[in-house]
Every structure is written in structure tokens, then in C-alpha cells.
A and B are shown apart, each in its own frame.
Chain A
Amino acid sequence: MKNLLRAAAAAVAALALTACGGGSSTDPSNVSPAGEIKPRKISWLLSRPADGAVINIMKKLAEDYAREHPGFELNLITTPDRPSYIQKLETLAAANKLPELFDTDATPFAQQLAKQGKMMDAEKLLKSLDVYEDYRPGALDYQRFDDGSLYMIPFQFELEFIWYNKALLEKAGVAVPASLDDIPAMCTALRQAGITPIAIDGQDQWPLERYIAYQPFREAGPEFVQKLKKGEAKFADPAGQKTVNWMAELGKSKCFQDGFSAQGYSDAQNQFTSGQAAMYNIGTWELPSLATEKLNPAVRDQIDFFTLPTTAGSVTAANEFVSPSGIGMAVNAKTYDPLVSDFLKFALDKYPAEYAATGALSPTTDVETAVPANATPLYQKALDQAKDLGEKQAMPWDTQLDPTTNGRLQQELVLLVQGNITPEQFTATMDNTIAQNAPKFFK
């Protein structure tokens, strides 16, 4: 028994040591540290595709930089699977072992890291590097916390559209919806024609969560979710009830494929690209699969897209919808030094041109995206949407809500759409969950 107690005491010590030893030596707003540039190996913990454009370009830029600064090395540690990545980030943060650079969304967890002075002020940093003005305001806004502070740097810019199959819509005798409220009826008509209305990736959960964000964004603007997550707005409010009932109606009209909750990303896309499903909601990161000759020839000429429909009395405009700039990169304040600063200056300066050359939308406006040779006309049409965007954007709720509420919402949403629970039950459960969890995260 004595040994047990001793071991417990040692455990206390081990945990307390790391939990309290988190004080950082660097001031998060001191973006231009004085001193000599001493090349060393730095690491970037990231959650991006292993052979994707961002990683390939940063690898190349790091090599270029190392030629001028022998001894420098950028170690890219990627975990593309998001849940595994988040687990890794959290354990590293708990052990106070975060590397020089790390990826995170503007989540409540990240905000706490920022509050503790663990991340560099990105707005000041970008301004000091003289690139701040180049960035699309929307790309930066996506990375901001609610108080407007900016701690993450975007590397992408994407627009989310609802892609559709013209032939299938025609077959069912329906037109592109003018309002969000037209969609349930549209689904009923498509189902009657034997067509799956919307292919959705239910397994990853964020796609369904997008839908519940749409009505409130049109009805009450981007502020709704900011209030909702703190418990200041409720699902019981009119805007909340509208979206809850709309989601239930989408379910009743069988808008999504049967058994969608277990279907993965590729399954959903395959259903759309093989001409089985009429609609598919996805962002411009899928342009290479949807708007190039890689697309199944049978449906290639039938594909088009529309942006998020408005509603009667909508407070946001048609050119305002979901336009995320992807997971952002945070700069660790503890390890920030002249080298990190100098490398970022070098890399952020050269990155946009390289990135735009791959056919993707850069988070900055100073470069033109190169359309790939095998692109269909839709490619350019999609890119052009970025030129005419409104000021507001619909934020994905999964980056906004506290993680416990978010997890519960994702689960209850499936039940609501499948008709396992009523809108009333959904409303009660969710408002209750927010009331329980929000205070812990947003005090």
C-alpha cells in the first residue's frame, strides 16, 4: 500500500511538472525578433494530403531556403486523417512539445492556446512581413477567432458549391432551386423519378453539418452560430427552429441516399460522378475530379454547379456562402526566433505563385490561378466565382462549436434526418447540451 501511494505521488509530480511548465519565454506580439539567423531543423506538424500541393511546394521552398542557409531543414510531419491529427496535436500540446509550426482550425481549443500566449499573432506577423494586404479578406476572416484576432495563416482558398447533374434534374422535371426552401420538394420529385437526390459523405460528419448552417446563415447571418455556441441564441429561437424543421424535412423527403450515415467520402463522390445521384455539395478542392477530363465521360457534359440558394427575406446575399481557407498554420511563440521569421518571410512570399500554378485558388489576390490543360469549361467558371464574393461568409459549424456540443450535434443530426427523433427532441437535447458545455469553453 505504501508503494502504491508513493507511485501515486510520483504520478502527481510527473503530471504537475508538465502541466505547469507551460510558460513561454517569447512575447506573442514580438513578430520581428532581434538577433542572428541560426539555421537549424524546424518542424511543421500538419494535417494535409501527403503528396498534395501545399506539402510539395513547401518542401521545395524549404530546399531552396536551405541552399542559402546551410543547416536549415523543414521537417514536415503530416497526419492527413483529421481525428488522428487532432489527437496528436492535443497530446503534443498537453506535453508542451508543440513544434515550431502546427496546423489548427479556429477552434475553441486553439483559442485557449492563443490566450496562453503559445501562438504568434498572425496579423502582426503578416504585416511585418509586408504580405498582409495581399491576402483575401475572406481567407483571413475564416481563420479569425470571434474577437477578430488572427493567429493562423491560410494556405488555401476554397469555395463550396452544390454540383448537379443537368440530365437527372431534367428527367425529374425540376429546376435549379431558387430558394433553400425549394430543396425538399425537389428531392421528392427526384425520388419519384427513381433518382438519388443528394449524395453525401455521412461518415465524416462535417458534410451533413454544413446543411444545418445554411438556413441560419440566410435567416440571421453569420452571427447566429457565434451566439448559439455561447448559449446566447438557441435552437428554440425562430432561426434555430427553421433550420431544425428544414433538416427534418430534408430527411422526410429522402434527400440523401439511404444509409448515408455510414457512407464515406469516395462512395458519395462516386455516386455523383457515376450519374446515380443528382446533387453533390463540395468545394473547389475537388475541381481536379469534377471539372477536368478525369471525370467520367458519361456525365462530363451534364455537370454544372450552383451556389448556396438564398431564401425569402435572406439577410445575406447570393454571393455570400461557405468559402473556407482550409486548416490554418499557427506559429509557436515559444520557438519563434529570427530563423523562423526569416524562413516564413521567404516562404510566404514565394508560396502564392507556386500554389496558383497548380490550378488551385491562392489565399492571396496577387496571383492568377493557372487552369490545367485538361480542364472543362466549368473549371474557369468555378474560379471566377472567387472574384465576386460578398463580405460575409458562412462558417462551418464544426470549427465554431465547442467540441462536445459539436460531437453531440453531429450524432443527433443523423437521428433527426433519419426520422429517429422529432425536431422537438432534437431542439431540447441540443439546447441542453450547449447549456452544459458552452460555459466551460467560452468563459
Chain B
Amino acid sequence: MQTNRTLPARMLPNRSRTSVLVFLLPPLLLYGAAVLFPILQSLFLSFFSWNGISEMEFVGLDNYVRMFIADDIFWRAFLNALAYLAICLVLQLGGALVVASLLTSLTRGRELIKTLYLLPAVISTVAIAFLFVRIYSIEPVGLLNQLLHWIGLGSLERPWLSDVNTVLAAVSAPEGWRFTGLYMLIIYAALIAVPKDLEEAAVLDGAGRWTLFAKIRFPYIRPVWITTTIMATTYGLRGFDIPYLMTNGGPGQSSELLTTYMYKTAFTSTDFGYASTISVFIVIECLAAVGLILFLLKRKADA
């Protein structure tokens, strides 16, 4: 962004105003109609009490007051969502970076492994949820508990999805696991674009693997890394399917996320006004998260 700050990033010296419009208008049009307009409608709804079939009743900031002050589930869901995000990020970004780096050192079979690694992403969430429910099960005993038993950690055996202390981690893991391959591909594509002469020069200067990674590769892929982080964060904060299918937020509210709570408020409680209020909060929460990521990663880049 540094270049942008001083002057608009204008790579082409002679371009007309019309050409900007020609390129910009069609995407904005689709985007406005499919995304921005409904968001505005949502924002509008958040000031109303409406169940879909009744007359809409203007309630001012009542929904917001209720959310911040009177709703214990909301805060629980908020904290859960943060924990869920943290686990997903570690699995997705950490896992992706490690595997992508390992892959670059591999001489044969890269393509095969890349494809295999991506497999979980193509399976529908319904099947994934079903499989993991069985993996975590204890009665009948599932794969995870069986494994723990075999390696002598029998004391850790538990119903992972029913234990209020483990359920959140248990529902985060499949989501994290599922998309690691995707992020790995993106990071891998960036890693492989790191100029060989830069790396070779560093190796000649005696750089170890870690130094090579930290000083050469990572700075080079930083823009892609930021994009990937933002992508993973926003998808993590929007995470919905797997917790919804596996536990429906339970037991109690132990795995309730803001998104599942919002969905239930809208379509189970038919409280569209309040659900919109929660989604406005999610939008702001995501904006803040993205701002924070940009701030942190940029500062490191500038340092």
C-alpha cells in the first residue's frame, strides 16, 4: 500500500476514464446487486422487530441493546467463534505453510501429493460431519478413542462431541483440516515463484533452512500470505456447516458460534430483526479482524 499512499497505483501511463469504467462497472454491478444491496437491507432490518409474516415494527436500537446487555448466549457464541477461529487458523495456515515448504524440497510426486492433499475439500460437508461424528464417538467406540487406547492414553478416552470441554476443539478440527490443502496450494504456488537465484545466493552464503525460509522465502511470499490469512480468517469467522451439522451448537451452547446462533435466530426463532443485528456485528467483527491482520503483518513488513 505504500506506493498507493503517495500516488494512485497507476501502472498504465495513458488510460482514459472510460476504460476504468468499462472494467469496473460490470463487476460492481453484480456485486452491488448480489451482495451490497442485501447487506443494506439487513442493516435496515436490524432496527426492526419482524418475524417474516407480521407487520414490521420499528424498535430503534433495542436489538443492539439486547445483544450487548441482555443476551448471554451471544457473548458465549462470540468467545466460541474466536476459539474456533484460532484452531482453524493454526491448522490451515500453519499446516499449509509446513506442507508447502516440505513439498518444495520433494523431487518426485509433488503433483500427486498436491491432488491427494486437496481431497477433503471436495467432499460435501454432510459426509465429513457424519464421518467425524463416528471418529469421535465412544459408544460404539470410534477411531480416535481406539487410537488413544492403543497408544496407552486410555485415560483420555471420552465422548469428544458431548464433553463440554472438548467439543469446540472437536468441531473446529474438521473445518481446519478440510481446507488445509487449499491454502497449501496457494502458498505453494507463491513459494515456487521465489526466484531461484535469490535462494541460491543465500545458500552460497551459508544460510540454513530456517534462515532461508525466514529471510528469503517468507518475505517474498508475504503478499500472498496476507491474502491467505485474510481468506482463512474470514472463512473461519463465517464457519457454519460443520458445527451446525455435527452438534448444532451443543451440548448446551458449548459449540455455538455467532453464525449458527444467527442462523437459528433467523430461521428457528423467526426473529429476522435480531438475526440481522447479530450479522451486522459479525460484519464489524470481520472488518476489525482484517484490519488487525493488515496492521500486524504490514508493520512487520515495514520493520
A residues neighboring B (CB under 8 Å) = 4, 7-8, 10-12, 14-16, 19-20, 22, 83, 86-87, 90-91, 93-94, 109, 112-113, 116, 118, 196, 202-203, 205, 257-264, 267, 271, 276, 402-404, 406-407, 410-412, 414-415, 418, 420-421, 437
Contacts and interface: CB of A to CB of B under 8 A. Distances in A.
6 contacts: A7-B40, A19-B56, A83-B268, A86-B268, A202-B162, A264-B130
Interface residues of B, number: 42
Given A15-B45, A109-B53, A437-B269, 11 more contacts: A12-B44, A15-B41, A94-B52, A109-B51, A112-B51, A261-B247, A262-B136, A262-B246, A262-B247, A411-B250, A411-B253
A277 to B, nearest CB: 9
A51 to B, nearest CB: 19
B155 interface: no
Interface in B228-268: 246-253, 264-265, 267-268
B251 A414 contact: yes
Interface string B48-71: 001111111000000000000000
A90 B266 CA distance: 9
Given A20-B55, A420-B251, A403 B268 contact: yes
B205 interface: no
Contacts of B53: 22, 93-94, 109, 112-113, 116, 118
B246 A258 contact: no
B186 to A, nearest CB: 32
B26 interface: no
A262 B161 CA distance: 6
A22 B55 CA distance: 10
Nearest to B41: A11
A19 B268 contact: no
Contact of A420 (B44, B138, B164, B271): B164
Given A86-B268, A259-B161, A411 B44 contact: no
A112 B54 CA distance: 8
Interface string B108-137: 000000000000000000000010010011
B55 A404 contact: no
B162 A11 contact: no
Contacts of B269: 402-404, 407, 437
A267 B252 CA distance: 21
A14 B41 contact: yes
Contact of A411 (B36, B130, B162, B249): B249
Interface of B: 36-37, 40-41, 43-45, 50-56, 130, 133, 136-140, 159-162, 164, 246-253, 264-265, 267-272
Q: Is chain A's binding surface mostly helix, strand, loop or mixed?
A: helix
A8 B40 contact: yes
B271 A258 contact: no
Given A16-B56, A94-B52, A411-B252, A261 B162 contact: yes
A11 B251 contact: no
Given A11-B40, A403-B269, A262 B133 contact: yes
Nearest to B171: A262
B139 A257 contact: yes
Q: Which 4 A-B pairs have the closest CB atoms?
A: A259-B159, A94-B52, A262-B161, A415-B252
Contact of A259 (B139, B267, B272): B139
A93 B265 CA distance: 16
A203 B250 CA distance: 9
A16 B44 CA distance: 11
Contacts of A262: 133, 136-137, 159, 161-162, 246-247
B246 A93 contact: no
Contacts of B54: 112
Contacts of A4: 40
A414 B250 contact: yes
B251 A261 contact: yes
Given A403-B270, A411-B253, A264 B40 contact: no
A90 B50 CA distance: 12
Contacts of B271: 404
Contacts of A22: 53
Given A8-B44, A203-B248, A276 B164 contact: no
A90 B253 CA distance: 24
A271 B268 contact: no
A203 B251 CA distance: 10
A412 B133 CA distance: 21
B17 to A, nearest CB: 19
B52 A90 contact: yes
A271 B247 contact: no
A259 B251 CA distance: 10
Nearest to B267: A87
B137 A263 contact: yes
Contacts of B50: 19
B132 to A, nearest CB: 9
Contacts of B248: 203, 205
